[in-house]
Structure 1
């Protein structure tokens, strides 16, 4: 796909309590820290629910949760872990929620953004020993032009100015650099090993309440989530969870029972027709750690990420099953890019793509999400319908050109 036409989903601004993260919507404004500001975000998903990214409610920008791929950073094999209670240190079994929280909370930060009337906060987490922090793009978007400032706050209240290393709108990820002392990176697990029913723990700053820990299970995998305004969409093949995710969780980690990051919390569900409603309803969405690790490593290395494409333009007016390639140019150039992966595989204008690697494709967004979840250079098999007949084709994904 090449620069697909705008998705039919948008971030719908919404309000919750103080501190809701989001992708630069309009609405009530608050100053940046010290008073804890808020921000909000709201995408939509499918015909049943609207997705609202975790964010900061009163200002207009932040949200989140985070994830990555196992790099080390904590002892998950000990039989007990020291946790802190109001009465002092206590021992908890390794693998318990209390043990996971004791290890992870110090490595999760609150991200404050001051961009005038678009100030707010979200969450982030320590990715490596070089001081890189992972968060959502929609958390820092308001300050990305250089007109605002970004501050990272640790659990002990220590604050430090952060610089933006790189961000990617399409994957809703951003990397910050900050000078942190005595903080260990979180290990990053493999989201490809996650199964429905796995127990998970989310850590972040929902509603401005830092160091908040919630738990639940993985309730679905490969949930196609498309969020954002026209031309600024994020395409996520998301991990769905019933762990409580609220505005302000955006950019924080979703952890497995070993304390490894398996996702970055990025969105929550909101019932359609209720733009004023907000908060957890048991359906949250995280960017899988396999995608996070690929994208974050690229952002750290070059400041930008590459996006795999097949080289077609999709027909957004088509309402049938599958994703139909435009039948004519419609002012956008050739529907099938000459010499691109789809062209070399034999895809023609008007073909309907109904499967990718044996998995059904129901909508154009689902196709985009499935392709974006792959890596440049991956080989995929697609099934298309043409003149009432199905045929399979194999192609190698290429990087989208700027």
Structure 2
């Protein structure tokens, strides 16, 4: 066997690779440093003795120095590739790799942080951040203590002197001896009293005592909302003040029904559907667009069969359209009462669409009030109302909800099918009634009058037929 001359160190070689401080030479556990191009296996050329010296050494030194010893380990080419890749990804990570091999004591580098750029968060109009900031300045927390305990909800500040809009079911438990405490955006707490309620719309106005210079909410319009439009909700779910959630408008003009404990009556109103998370304590708080304008009053969420041990439903929240809420709030602030439109018919959810059991889909009229709006328009008992103002009607609850979308005295077109199957369009001028009781629909065969006193208005333990009012 011939001895390889490269196995012996050249005594005249004083390159750094042979210095005592070199980690490869001082610690036998480390392999010798790679010599790039020493293995033809990877296609690298063999060293040329006459070539220019690498890494900046002078030609004279190269000529006097024998070839570097050939390391007895795998080629360094993969190591080079790995270091380059890490350097590209980590920004100089290759240098850190050398430090990892150096066990000498060193001072740890100080940690630094980079301040966020003002442009990192979009707080301009049209952003969720902007909408949240605007709405939070006009959102109050409401706590109502009464004989049944304490109810918690939210409110929308309407005026600088303390008029605040909320849900009727938030304040309905105040009763005799109860009290309302409102926490304003600045953290101060104040007493409040009920100015007026509108049960059919689940709305109420309260007056906060001893305040001034509050920031009133900016009211938008709900009639121009689009499905898919981004919205933001602000409220105090589970007593967590100024909680902000965001989502979209999922549907317009939904029929919201609330059942009483007996199941014989359901309360009805019209609402906006949203997937914006709303939870107990959000009731009465604002649903705003990305300009921070109020487009709805949060009222209920679909819980599926959660109240009876079933599956929880998510992303099904409901808000009262601001166009309706604005009209009602103005009336309540003026004289403490509000009006609602009346069609002047009665019916129930259990009644067939018509006597012949045909496939006509709509709300069958059980009876017509004498001299009422429907009678004046020519409706008769047994007629099936299939559409109101272009909106299709599938049952009697839909009929009542669509009527509540409009204002007293407004003229609206309706489509009806009589008992012979003939369809015609009529124009109805809606009547008016004081809103002192929830609009209800009977689930039994006996017809129920629109606007009859409600014995099961939405309370803390009254599931909305899968819907729970929040704030109780």
Please, what TM-score do these two structures have when normalized by structure 2?
0.61
Deviations 1:323-375 (A, max 9, x none): 1111xxxxxxxx21111111111111111111112221001010000001100
Query: RMSD of the alignment, in Å?
Result: 2.3
Q: Which runs of 5+ in 2 are unaligned?
A: 1-115, 354-360, 437-472
Residues 267/300 of structure 1: CA separation in 2 closer, same or farther (3 Å cut) = same
1:149 is matched with 179
1:174 is matched with 204
Residues 232/106 of structure 1: CA separation in 2 closer, same or farther (3 Å cut) = farther
2:188 maps to 1:158 = yes
User: Of 145, 154, 159, which residue of structure 2 is paired with 1:114?
Assistant: 145
1:341 is matched with 373
Query: 1:150, 1:163 within 8 Å by CA — same for their partners in 2?
Result: yes
3-state SS in 1 of match to 2:135: helix
Give 1:91 shift.
7.9
1:378 is matched with 410
Query: 1:245, 1:279 within 8 Å by CA — same for their partners in 2?
Result: no
Query: 1:201, 1:213 within 8 Å by CA — same for their partners in 2?
Result: yes
Deviations 1:152-188 (A, max 9, x none): 0123331100010001111000000013344200100
Query: 1:246, 1:279 within 8 Å by CA — same for their partners in 2?
Result: no
Quick one: distance in 2 between partners of 1:339 and 1:262? 36
2:305 maps to 1:272 = yes
1:317 is matched with 350
1:281 is matched with 314
User: Of 129, 140, 164, which residue of structure 1 is paired with 2:171?
Assistant: 140
Deviations 1:287-307 (A, max 9, x none): 000000011111111211111
User: Of 288, 298, 309, which residue of structure 1 is paired with 2:331?
Assistant: 298
Quick one: distance in 1 between partners of 2:149 and 2:265? 17
Residues 116/208 of structure 1: CA separation in 2 closer, same or farther (3 Å cut) = same
1:187 is matched with 218
Give 1:398 shift.
0.8
- Residues 249-264 of structure 1 aligned to structure 2 (within 5 Å): 249-264=282-297
3-state SS in 1 of match to 2:272: strand
Residues 354/300 of structure 1: CA separation in 2 closer, same or farther (3 Å cut) = same
- Residues 68-83 of structure 1 aligned to structure 2 (within 5 Å): none
Larger radius of gyration: 2
Give 1:131 shift.
1.3
1:59 is matched with none
Residues 146/280 of structure 1: CA separation in 2 closer, same or farther (3 Å cut) = farther
Quick one: distance in 2 between partners of 1:245 and 1:276? 20
Residues 200/279 of structure 1: CA separation in 2 closer, same or farther (3 Å cut) = farther
Deviations 1:197-237 (A, max 9, x none): 11100000011111100001101100111225379864322
More helix by share: 2
Residues 233/180 of structure 1: CA separation in 2 closer, same or farther (3 Å cut) = farther
Residues 196/313 of structure 1: CA separation in 2 closer, same or farther (3 Å cut) = same
Quick one: distance in 1 between partners of 2:265 and 2:136? 31
1:30 is matched with none
1:17 is matched with none
Query: 2:195, 2:336 within 8 Å by CA — same for their partners in 1?
Result: yes
3-state SS in 2 of match to 1:399: strand
2:236 is matched with 205
Give 1:93 shift.
2.4
- Residues 21-60 of structure 1 aligned to structure 2 (within 5 Å): none
Quick one: distance in 2 between partners of 1:308 and 1:134? 21
1:64 is matched with none
Q: Which runs of 5+ in 1 are unaligned?
A: 1-84, 327-334
2:397 is matched with 365
Residues 227/274 of structure 1: CA separation in 2 closer, same or farther (3 Å cut) = closer
3-state SS in 2 of match to 1:193: coil
Quick one: distance in 2 between partners of 1:271 and 1:126? 32
More strand by share: 1
Query: 1:352, 1:385 within 8 Å by CA — same for their partners in 2?
Result: yes
1:238 is matched with 271
Residues 273/94 of structure 1: CA separation in 2 closer, same or farther (3 Å cut) = closer
Quick one: distance in 1 between partners of 2:206 and 2:187? 18
Which deviates more, 152-161 or 260-269? 152-161
Give 1:278 shift.
9.2
Please, what TM-score do these two structures have when normalized by structure 1?
0.72
Quick one: distance in 2 between partners of 1:341 and 1:300? 28
2:57 is matched with none
Query: 2:160, 2:213 within 8 Å by CA — same for their partners in 1?
Result: no
Deviations 1:263-320 (A, max 9, x none): 0000001113653579871110000000000111111112111110111111432144
